[in-house]
Amino acid sequence: QINPDRLHQRIADLAAVGAIDGGGCARLALTDADRAGRDLVCGSMRELGLAVSVDAIGNVVGVRAGRSDGPPVMTGSHIDTVRTGGRYDGNYGVLAGLEVVAALNDAGLTTEHPLAVAFFTNEEGARFAPDMMGSLVYTGALPLAEALAVQGIDGATVGDELARIGYAGPAPVPAAAPRAFVELHVEQGPVLDREGIDIGVVESVQGISWTEIDIRGTSNHAGTTPMSMRRDAGWAAGEIIAFVRELATELGGDQVATVGRIEFFPNLVNVVPNRAVLTVDLRNTDEALLQRAEARLAAHLAALRDAEKVEISTRKLARFAPVPFAPEMTDRIEGHARALGLTTRRMPSGAGHDAQMLAAVCPTAMIFVPSVDGISHNVREYTEPKHIEAGAQVLLAVLSELAGA
Amino acid sequence: QINPDRLHQRIADLAAVGAIDGGGCARLALTDADRAGRDLVCGSMRELGLAVSVDAIGNVVGVRAGRSDGPPVMTGSHIDTVRTGGRYDGNYGVLAGLEVVAALNDAGLTTEHPLAVAFFTNEEGARFAPDMMGSLVYTGALPLAEALAVQGIDGATVGDELARIGYAGPAPVPAAAPRAFVELHVEQGPVLDREGIDIGVVESVQGISWTEIDIRGTSNHAGTTPMSMRRDAGWAAGEIIAFVRELATELGGDQVATVGRIEFFPNLVNVVPNRAVLTVDLRNTDEALLQRAEARLAAHLAALRDAEKVEISTRKLARFAPVPFAPEMTDRIEGHARALGLTTRRMPSGAGHDAQMLAAVCPTAMIFVPSVDGISHNVREYTEPKHIEAGAQVLLAVLSELAGA
Ligand SMILES: NC(=O)NCCC(=O)O
Ligand SMILES: NC(=O)NCCC(=O)O
């Protein structure tokens, strides 16, 4: 049995680190606030008797010994947030994992296999791309050196920032695969809340394509330069924003498309911008449709280049094909949720998660709980206490079975 | 006779202050670089024997005594620049004014009326809006207290920054009107260069409308939020950028429209922006057409507000009707230019200038020289030495006559 009060308290304690107006958190990866959050969670891990290790990309794994050695059954998520983050995204999965450990400790139970709770570095990808960086390196899908060299939106590199906050650990990556991986997370979308369902059984994660577009034009005077003589990098950026929305609307279905980040240079009222940098986030549950969206965007950029005589270069910040989870794991989650009297729904995940990287190396699945109004990456992100508790109960049941309690 | 080498040297010396790659300058108003530029020019004024005064908005006026007292004949411009500014915009008019004084000194001539060379604070408006701030306060069109309270793009206020750089002077504003005002400036547009004409006789300045648009939506997750559930402030901003270009194209004629500045919040790849702030610069030589463009923009914002369920507020950063110059002044400029064997063309100014504020209080006109390829607010801004010299010769002739040499 989990202890709801203890879990809620841990969530509140972590939310107090990097707290921002409205109840949310700003703990961008590898900032001082992230360090403070890490220190707090590492402290809890040690109090719970876990053997804590930090690897070279800053992933933290706390292991509870089993009767036998060998790879652990693992749960976990991330504790970094976006700049306007909520208190549940990522944090909930990690802290519910600790609550499972605490519940097993309370019951004096030793599992057959070791049980591990992990939090992975820079899952959000908001400061450093790609997202899910820590789990990518953990599973060998991204070379460590490449990850360490990534430069963030503020110019700092992952390697320097890891060293600065004291989380460039000695444990090697890639690491040995866990026996299985289960990630508990808030849905972040509107489906469960709208349909009044307790538990989402996540069958897959949709494909993610992040592109940074760098446009070069000619700075010139806003008052004296005829429209026909402009090479306006800012206008080209605006045109791309408008196009990207049309693209999503036209492709329909699950297709989503977002321009979340933009910068103009020199960024002054009376100067035609000579440079604009913006990001496009495209997602689809269907890889073929996602590729079609990418191709449409590329064709549009080529046409724009010719029409405005601007130079356009692109850089892939992240690209992940849709990831299916293991049916034996989703079945298990569904079975335990129903046995607990909870309503369930099978669904894809709209957000990227560390679980999608772990899925490449071990049987993996995810448990979702409802997000009120589907709001996330917003300080108003909220999940009702009863759903927070229900998700943790399901996690306890699934992990107990997998680890052999 | 002006001394070309001395004039070119002064331009090079001032360009060295706040120099940036490519030959340009970054001396945003009231920054340390602006102070250094001011110190240099004030030093030159004193060396030339001018009586230098600084007023409460930081305008600097250097006066060369005449045989009689009374209001001076004034020339001048500004020495602040945009962040990617050229070395001629503004600076040229001030330094050519000093060259006129130096030439009169060389010739041992005393004019009937005093002769003044001025540089006005924050003409560019790039850091603090409105543009032409110093000349607006000088002529009484903007209350001093209001100007001092203006907050810049970096949050600092005009009053604090003036005090910080030591240019909050004791001379009162508004000041007594000069006898006449002549401003020499680079065209900054393509007309004279394309037509191979030496001197532009500026008959008017087009109307300027600057609006800051502040859009509030809801931050949300880029991957999990269906397109239909978004209140995307960033998309609304992009849509406005696209609309503004269409508006200019559709209205045709002289209409120009520019979005030069933008900011998203929280400005992260996977977060639907909850806020976007952008500026729209609209200009037209015809006040009625400019009002039509403004009305079209306002109607578009209203429609957008409804369609995306975003909140949109606007703030006028600057609004100036077109300003005609005094025919007796333009005739005089044209006459002197032709007498010097130069080709001339009458034309409006696409850029705003301090002269348009002085025009409200005394007979005023402007002299333009060609800008190669019409490039300005760009480090590549360039005017050929022969045109720099010709413009200064015309200025000498016009000022000599006005001041009674
Ligand atoms: N769970 C979550 O918000 N992940 C961030 C990566 C993304 O999906 O953009
Ligand atoms: N001359 C000049 O560039 N003035 C700046 C004000 C404006 O026209 O935007």
Q: B382, B375 in Cβ contact below 8 A? A: yes
Q: pLDDT tens digits, residue range A37-56?
A: 999 999 999 999 999 999 99
pLDDT over 90, % of chain A: 99
The pLDDT value recorded for residue B16 is 98
Which member of B187, B227, B269 has the closest CB to residue A210?
Answer: B269
Cα–Cα dist B56/B54, whole Å: 7
3-state secondary structure chain B: CCCHHHHHHHHHHHHCCCEECCCEECCCCCCHHHHHHHHHHHHHHHHCCCEEEEECCCCEEEEECCCCCCCCEEEEECCCCCCCECCCCCHHHHHHHHHHHHHHHHHCCCCCCCEEEEECCCCCCCCCCCCCHHHHHHCCCCCHHHHHCCECCCCCEHHHHHHHHCCCCCECCCCCCCCEEEEEEECCCCHHHHHCCCEEEEEEECEEEEEEEEEECCCEECCCCCHHHCCCHHHHHHHHHHHHHHHHHHHCCCCEEECCCEEEECCCCCEECCEEEEEEEEEECCHHHHHHHHHHHHHHHHHHHHHHCCEEEEEEEEEECCEECCHHHHHHHHHHHHHCCCCEEEEEECCCCCHHHHCCCCCEEEEEECCHHHCCCCCCCCCCHHHHHHHHHHHHHHHHHHHCC
Q: pLDDT tens digits, residue range B261-284?
A: 999 999 999 999 999 999 999 999
Averaged pLDDT for residues A353-372: 98
Q: How is residue B303 written in tokens?
A: 């429609």
Which member of A189, A264, A281 has the closest CB to residue B269?
Answer: A281
Is the pLDDT at A405 greater than 90? The verdict is: no
Residue of chain B minimizing CA distance to A224: B350
Q: How is residue B119 written in tokens?
A: 């540089």
Averaged pLDDT for residues A85-109: 98
Averaged pLDDT for residues B80-93: 97
Q: B224, A187 in Cβ contact below 8 A? A: yes
Ligand closest to the CA atom of residue A184: 1
Measured in angstroms, the CA of B106 and the nearest CA of chain A are apart by 37
Averaged pLDDT for residues B386-392: 98
Model's pTM, two decimal places? 0.96
Contacts of A219 in chain B (CB under 8 A): 84, 377-378
Q: What is the DSSP string of A152-169?
A: -TTS-BHHHHHHHHT---
Residue of chain B minimizing CA distance to A225: B189
**Does B272 contact A257 at a Cβ distance shorter than 8 Å?**
no
Q: Which residues sit with their C-beta closer than 6 Å to ligand 1?
A: A 89, 123-125, 131, 188, 351-353; B 221-223, 270
Say which residues have a Cβ less than 8 Å from residue A216's Cβ, sequence separation at least 6: A233, A274, A275, A310, A311, A312
- Please count the other Cβ atoms lying within 10 Å of the Cβ belonging to residue A309: 13
Q: pLDDT tens digits, residue range B307-366?
A: 999 999 999 999 999 999 999 999 999 999 999 999 999 999 999 999 999 999 999 999
Contacts of B216 in chain A (CB under 8 A): none
Q: What is the mean pLDDT of chain B?
A: 98
CA of B123 to the centre of ligand 2 (A): 7
The pLDDT value recorded for residue B52 is 98
Please name the residue whose Cα sits nearest to atom 9 of ligand 2: A270
Chain A 15-74, residues with CB within 8 Å of chain B CB atoms = none
Give the closest residue to A371 by CA, choosing from A194, A206, A202: A194
- Bridge partners (DSSP) of residue B201 are B346, B367
Q: What is the DSSP string of A102-143?
A: HHHHHHT---SS-EEEEE-TT-S-SSSSSSSHHHHHHTTSS-
The pLDDT value recorded for residue B300 is 98
Q: How confident is the model at residue B155 (pLDDT cuts 50, 70, 90)?
A: very high
> Is A187 within 8 Å of chain B by CB?
yes
> Is B227 within 8 Å of chain A by CB?
yes
CA of A351 to the centre of ligand 1 (A): 5
Q: How confident is the model at residue A296 (pLDDT cuts 50, 70, 90)?
A: very high
Q: pLDDT tens digits, residue range B124-141?
A: 999 999 999 999 999 999
> Is B90 within 8 Å of chain A by CB?
no
pLDDT over 90, % of chain B: 99
Cα–Cα dist B67/B176, whole Å: 19
Ligand 2 and A270: CB distance under 6 A: yes
Phi, psi of A125 (to 5 degrees): 70, 10
- Bridge partners (DSSP) of residue A386 are none
Averaged pLDDT for residues A234-259: 96
Please name the residue whose Cα sits nearest to atom 5 of ligand 1: A124
Q: How confident is the model at residue A183 (pLDDT cuts 50, 70, 90)?
A: very high
**C-alpha dihedral (A238, A222, B277, A212), degrees to nearest 10:** 40
Which member of B237, B260, B267 has the closest CB to residue A273?
Answer: B260
Residue of chain B minimizing CA distance to A350: B224
Averaged pLDDT for residues B110-136: 98
Interface-testing mutation among B268, B283, B320, with chain A (most A C-beta atoms within 10 A): B268
Q: A377, B219 in Cβ contact below 8 A? A: yes
The pLDDT value recorded for residue A299 is 98
Residue of chain B minimizing CA distance to A260: B269
Measured in angstroms, the CA of B266 and the nearest CA of chain A are apart by 6
CA of A260 to the centre of ligand 1 (A): 13
CA of A350 to the centre of ligand 2 (A): 47
The pLDDT value recorded for residue B405 is 87
Averaged pLDDT for residues A352-371: 98
Contacts of B293 in chain A (CB under 8 A): none
The pLDDT value recorded for residue B332 is 98
Residue of chain B minimizing CA distance to A236: B242
Is the pLDDT at B179 greater than 90? The verdict is: yes
Ligand closest to the CA atom of residue B80: 2
